[in-house]
Structure 1
Amino acid sequence: MPTRLRNGLSAALIALACLLAPFGTLAAWAYGLADTGRYVTTMAPLAADPAVREAVADSVGTGIMQQIPELDAGPLRATVAPFVHDAVRSFTRTEAFRTAWDSGNRALHDAVLHALHQDDLRPVTVDLAPVTAQVKRQLTDDHMPLAQRIPVEHTAVAVLPARELAHFRKGFHVLEVAGFWLPLTAAALAVAGIAVAACRRRAVTATALGTALGGAFLCLALAIGRRLTLADLPEEVHRQAAGAVYDALTATLRTVSLLLVALGLTVALTCWLTGLLLRRRRASAAPAPDPQPQPTRARA
């Protein structure tokens, strides 16, 4: 095969591999979240995050106040509301809340997976009754007025609307395929591009730089995605909580992106230094040119 054709084919294969690498990494990360145990482990530290606890206390406290008809109007609402919110806030600092947080996330994840694998169009919901029961018990122990009137009902809070299930189900099925095949295809294309190159060191350097560029692209995409995700949340408390959740879910992807950048730059620098050293060795090992004989002058 001619050298120019080999170099052209190598460049095309390496460019395609570097293009698929960040998308393969993103697909593998997204599909990895389908593992319930990994998801629960990822979300568990958020139970101690102040912004998340404050958002939970605000949502649950408001929900409890709305469930007591006697507090719909009048000065009693303004009197009881701070105690209810303080009770919920106090509950979020207990071990029982962390247990309920893990159990709730596990149940939510199982419900989402079940909905994605089934064909029914029922919305995915989460039940807040266990949290409400804990808060009611604490308010009752504190002799709070109307605490016994708080209804502990199995309230289904919609997490994934039914109208969006079809789109999420299609995307999940794509991730099932892409999460495995995209990274494998990117690796195979990179190996093939390096193998057919006329200068393999240069091909390895190009692959490494392309990989580093893909990792940098992922880091930039994560930063833009975070900004866009939080831009639609008007309340500061919920914005901070959503930011904490976003950071927890994308921590692995962010680490892999930085690893791609570091690994790509390291390999590229190693190839450059190795090539420089080999050129110097060849230059020093080359025999010195023979001196040109000096022409002799004829005697007069």
Structure 2
Amino acid sequence: MPLRDALSATLLTLACLLAPSGTLAAWATHGVADTGRYVDTMAPLATDPAVRNAVADAVGDEVARTLAPAGADTDTGAALAPFVRDAVHSFTRTEAYRIAWEAGNRAVHDAVLHALRDDTAPRGPVTVDLAPVTARVKQRLTADHMPYAHRIPVEHTEVPVVPAEEVAGLRKGYHVLDAAAFWLPLATVVLAVTGIAVAARRRRALTATGLGTALGGALLVLAVAVGRRLTLADLPDHLHRPAAAAIYDALTATLRTASWLLLALGLTVALVSWLTGRRGPRRGAPSPATAPDGRFRRPPATLPRP
């Protein structure tokens, strides 16, 4: 009996530890690493004020630096920077910007995903061509009669999005997550079922499994919150932290939902198992006509009164 309890406890502990890990791997592989889901997740951010401000500032500064050499002196770009930012801010409210936002996210995600999945891809940084986005911005600035807007070059230049030295590590990490997304959930179910089956008291083992699963879900919720804080703390630019927070929240929305579902599922299983155990008949209590050894015991004979 002690050996069965020890084996059951070991298997159930492993299952409860693998449950949040499997959830995280499945989210990374089937959520973030899927281009369609990624684009659908990022699409609503096109109208987020923090994201629009960050995009306008980044594009405006880049356009201002592009215009600087074309002027009579080096201060031309700096003088035009406020006007360029205003024009780009206006562009972020248009339908063309939302189309460009979706096309840019799809292009970047496709390029990164191709580099991570294809082991035969040439070595070097992951690049993407953002010429269509630049063309849309130039068209908008020209329509607004912005000075020097017609001089903005629209060339098919490859813009690096992932450094070459990080591609190999990311590729190995992706392959590990891809395998873990399948094997970890399967191993969790097998370990949990086996641990409950070999337990001497299965109802108690089921209750413990539910509580362990709920604890894993709670830890995953905490990990997402801590990851958000650490991610924003590492950003050097304080102005773009609201935009980064919006993007982080959008990407981890599915993971947070799965974490809360894991917590709720574990608590529900534990509560139902505990309640059915309390309401069920108690076993092992001898009946009045049964001896402790299980044999039938005759009631004592009564003598007739005289």
Provide TM-score, normalisation by structure 2.
0.87
Matched, 1:110 2:110: yes
Please tell me whether the aligned partners of residues 129 and 154 of structure 1 are also in contact (alpha carbons under 8 angstroms).
yes
Task: Say if 1:88 and 1:287 are closer, same or farther in 2 by CA, change over 3 A.
Answer: farther
Report deviation, 1:102: 1.3
Determine the structure 1 residue equivalent to 2:146.
Answer: 144
Residue identity opposite 1:250 in structure 2: T
Determine the structure 2 residue equivalent to 1:89.
Answer: 89
Determine the structure 2 residue equivalent to 1:271.
Answer: 273
Structure 1 stretch displaced more, 251-260 or 271-280: 271-280
User: Which residues of 2 match residues 220-299 of structure 1 at below 5 A?
Assistant: 220-279=222-281
Task: Say if 1:141 and 1:56 are closer, same or farther in 2 by CA, change over 3 A.
Answer: same
Please tell me whether the aligned partners of residues 17 and 185 of structure 1 are also in contact (alpha carbons under 8 angstroms).
yes
Determine the structure 2 residue equivalent to 1:45.
Answer: 44
User: Which residues of 2 match residues 11-90 of structure 1 at below 5 A?
Assistant: 11-32=9-30, 33-68=32-67, 69-70=69-70, 73-74=74-75, 76-90=76-90
Please tell me whether the aligned partners of residues 104 and 133 of structure 2 are also in contact (alpha carbons under 8 angstroms).
no
Per-residue CA distance 1:221-264 (angstroms, 9 max, x = gap): 11111111111213233111111111111111110000111111
Residue identity opposite 2:119 in structure 1: Q
Paired residues in the alignment total: 290
Determine the structure 2 residue equivalent to 1:297.
Answer: none
Provide TM-score, normalisation by structure 1.
0.89
Please tell me whether the aligned partners of residues 27 and 178 of structure 1 are also in contact (alpha carbons under 8 angstroms).
yes
Residue identity opposite 2:107 in structure 1: A
Report deviation, 1:202: 0.4
Please tell me whether the aligned partners of residues 21 and 182 of structure 1 are also in contact (alpha carbons under 8 angstroms).
yes
Distance 1:58 1:153 in 2: 21
Please tell me whether the aligned partners of residues 64 and 78 of structure 2 are also in contact (alpha carbons under 8 angstroms).
no
Per-residue CA distance 1:47-68 (angstroms, 9 max, x = gap): 1111111111111111111111
Distance 1:93 1:150 in 2: 21
Distance 1:157 1:7 in 2: 59
Distance 2:109 2:16 in 1: 33
Q: Gapped runs of 5+ residues in structure 2?
A: 291-298, 301-306
Task: Say if 1:279 and 1:79 are closer, same or farther in 2 by CA, change over 3 A.
Answer: same
User: Which residues of 2 match residues 175-254 of structure 1 at below 5 A?
Assistant: 175-254=177-256
Report deviation, 1:286: 6.2
Q: Gapped runs of 5+ residues in structure 1?
A: 294-300
Residue identity opposite 1:26 in structure 2: L
Distance 1:286 1:110 in 2: 72
Please tell me whether the aligned partners of residues 121 and 163 of structure 1 are also in contact (alpha carbons under 8 angstroms).
no
Structure 1 stretch displaced more, 79-88 or 64-73: 64-73
Report deviation, 1:80: 2.1
Per-residue CA distance 1:195-217 (angstroms, 9 max, x = gap): 11111110110100010010011
Distance 1:67 1:254 in 2: 41
Report deviation, 1:280: 7.4
Distance 1:250 1:80 in 2: 38
